[in-house]
Chain A
Amino acid sequence: MSARVTPAESPPLWLVAPFFLAAPAGLAAAGVIIAGANSDSFAGVNLPRNLAIVHALVVGWVTTTMMGATYQLIPAVLGGRLFSAWLVRLQFALHVCAVPVFVWAFYHWDLPLLEIGGMMVCGSLVLYLANAVLGLARGSRPGVTRWYVMAALSFLLATGGFGLLWVMAMRHALFPITFDRIAAHAHLGLLGWLGLTVMGVSYQLVPMFNVVRGTEPRFSRVALVVTVAALIAFAGVMLLAPPRPVRVVFAIGLAAGPILWGLDLLRLMHHRSRRNLDVQGRATYLSLTMLAVTIALGFTVLAMQVVSPERNNTHVVVAYAMAGVLGWMGTMLIGNTYKILPFLLWYHRYRPLVGRAPVPVTADIYNDRAATAVLASHAAGVAVLVLAALLENTWLLRASGGIFAAVAVAHLGTMLHMFLPKTSSRPMAPATRPLVAR
């Protein structure tokens, strides 16, 4: 069976690249705030400083990167078509204006400004969702990844909606914000939006990049169904302040999906034909390790709450959230950035020259050693941060902030380096005709 060559579909370089280049600013901002931490940091989860750090990371770094990645993957991998390039540009402009306002308002606990910042962020999310959903609807390849992305987009809407509602409730004293409501918002965002996107996309990309044939994932559908069901039940029940034992059931449900996904990924990686690991392969293993740490810390938080609810367990909550956002998500994002951006650059700059001139391959476009150094430094930062939180050590905490700020700069540096002209490391065809003849 044969099919005719179809015209290529990859979005313009300067539609997607700005998201990747702007995102490390979120990591840098979080790093700077963490570096300036004082001994109050573990007094309460809800401290303005802690909220500013989490939102700089999640909305600034992780979500911005994921927006860029999905704008690339929807046409290139999922077979969809972006609704409008101008809508993407408008959304980017709104997003980069919204995040600093949002983080600043959290840091200074300025509720009126937080409401404005929250509305701006939600505006950016709605524009993004419109483009992504319409893009997916306009023809897409069948497959489980598409359903993961659809579910993740729905949870993104729910996360943004709840978040804005909580801010407005505080600003206008509409109803009390309980810790359970904050937990619902956080898990919808962390697992629903970020987690499902990472899970779904890696089901597609990990077998592709690592050349896995003859081994199919076992739990891709089950993990999606379990996670979606657990999240809806968890968010619904947490709004109603459930008794402690009910929470244990939902916590197990929330952990089940990522665990099944992790087992699948380990199996796929074990059966890969491409034995030489590059930065993305290393990131996959690191990310799975961090996921295991996150789940262990999550159950520790739960156990502490059930056993002695009056004890301040802020430090373990901080370790749990940071292992999830910076560890599980962050390492995966760093690894995949070194796949997506070089491919985009190859596609737009070098593919038109294939056969006519020596053309670099993606491995020539980014520096795998530098990328691995960035990844390793980031993982070290996560380890120091989690340790600092568990020991409630302010000095270690500040050190981890310094590491993240440096990682953000180095990560940006390796990305900018990709844009410099590159030469091919591969031999060129013996010239059948001189190049000048054309």
Chain B
Amino acid sequence: MAQVELDNRGLMPPEPMVRILSALATLGDDDDLVALMDREPMLLYPELERRGFVWTFAEAGDGYVLTIRKASP
């Protein structure tokens, strides 16, 4: 199990979404993608769900943390 980190703070849409989606393409089955965010990525969620990922979204400091992993079959 590994953790892939992505700092999306200070980026304008759709940059955070594009970066997360391309990072997911290489994410292993047990890996976590942890992304630091300025805002909640509402448009990303349907794309995650469609590709079979689950996620948590939480406040952290003055930003947010989005954690994504593959849904267990």
Are B43 and A48 neighbours in the complex by a CB distance under 8 Å? Answer: yes
- Which residues of A have CB within 8 Å of B42? 111, 170, 177
List B residues 27-67 near A (Cβ within 8 Å).
40, 42-47, 49-52
Q: Give the chain A neighbours of B40 by CB distance below 8 A.
A: 173
State the CA gap A51–B46 with chains docked (Å). Answer: 13
Residue in A46, A108, A309 whose beta carbon sits within 8 Å of that of B43 in the complex: A46
Asked if A112 is at the interface (CB within 8 A of a chain B CB), the reply is no
Known contacts A46-B44, A309-B51, A310-B70; 4 further A-B pairs (Cβ under 8 A) = A46-B43, A109-B43, A177-B46, A310-B52
Q: Which residues on A sit within 8 Å (CB–CB) of B1?
A: none
The chain B residue with its CB closest to the CB of A176 is: B45
What residues make up the interface of B, taking CB atoms closer than 8 Å to A?
Answer: 13-14, 17-18, 21-22, 25, 40, 42-47, 49-52, 70
Distance from B27 Cβ to chain A, minimum over Cβ atoms (Å): 11
Q: Is the beta-carbon distance between B51 and A43 smaller than 8 angstroms?
A: no
Complex contacts, B44 vs chain A, CB 8 Å: 44, 46
Is residue A179 contacting chain B, with contact meaning CB distance below 8 A?
yes
Knowing A40-B14, A40-B18, A109-B14 are in contact, say whether A45-B51 is a contact too (CB < 8 A).
no
Which chain A positions have C-beta within 8 A of B25?
Answer: 312
Chain A interface residue number, banded: 20 to 34
Question: Given A43-B22, A309-B51: A178 and B14 within 8 A (CB)?
Answer: no
Complex Cα spacing A369 to B38, Å: 54
One of B21, B52, B70 near A44 (C-beta < 8 A)? B21
A309 to B47, CA, bound (A): 11
- Name which of B42, B49, B50, B52 has the most chain A CB atoms within 10 A of its CB: B50
A76 at the interface (CB under 8 A from B): no
Q: Which of A193-212 contact B (CB under 8 A)?
A: none
Give the residues from 6 to 59 in chain A that come closer than 8 angstroms, CB to CB, to chain B: 40, 43-49, 51
Q: How far, in Å, is B56 (CB) from chain A's closest CB?
A: 13
Q: How far is the CA of A176 from the CA of B13 in the complex (A)?
A: 19
Closest B residue to A110 using CB positions: B13
- Kindly name the residue among A43, A176, A182, A310 whose own CB sees the greatest number of chain B CB atoms within 10 A: A43
Q: Within the assembled complex, what's the spacing in Å between the Cα atoms of A40 and B19?
A: 9
Q: How many A-B residue contacts, CB cutoff 8 Å?
A: 59
Judge whether A179 and B46 touch: CB under 8 Å. yes
Contact yes or no, B21 A43, CB < 8 A: yes
Which chain A residues (345-363) contact chain B, with CB distance < 8 Å? none
Q: Check A310–B18 contact: CB distance below 8 A.
A: no
A312 to B50, CA, bound (A): 9
- Give every chain B residue within 8 A of A181 (Cβ-Cβ): 46
**Chain A, Cβ-Cβ closest to B46:** A179
A177 to B44, CA, bound (A): 10
Q: Chain A 305-323 against B: per-residue CB contact (8 Å), 1 yes, 0 no?
A: 1000111100000000000
- Chain B residues near A49: list those with CB within 8 A: 14
- The smallest beta-carbon distance between B73 and chain A, in angstroms, is 10
Contact B13 A48 (CB under 8 A): yes
Determine if A178 and B49 form an interchain contact, defined as CB atoms under 8 angstroms apart: yes
Q: Is the CB of B52 within 8 A of A109?
A: no
Task: Identify which of B13, B17, B18, B47 contacts A179 (C-beta below 8 A).
Answer: B47
Closest B residue by C-beta to A106: B43
A170 contacts across to B, CB distance below 8 A = 42-43
| Known A109-B43, A176-B45: A47·B17 in contact at CB below 8 Å | yes
In the complex, the 6 A-B pairs of residues with the closest C-beta atoms, listed nearest first: A109-B13, A179-B46, A170-B42, A179-B50, A44-B47, A310-B52
Report how far A176 CA is from B41 CA in the complex, Å.
11
Interface CB pairs A-B, < 8 A, 17: A43-B18, A44-B47, A46-B17, A46-B47, A47-B17, A49-B14, A108-B13, A111-B42, A177-B42, A179-B50, A305-B50, A309-B50, A309-B52, A310-B70, A311-B51, A312-B25, A312-B51
- On chain A, the residues within 8 Å of B43 by CB distance are 44, 46-48, 51, 109, 170
Residues of B within 8 A of A309 (CB): 50-52
- Which residue, A109, A170, A176, A311, has most C-beta atoms of chain B within 10 A? A109
CA distance A362 to B50 in the complex (A): 50
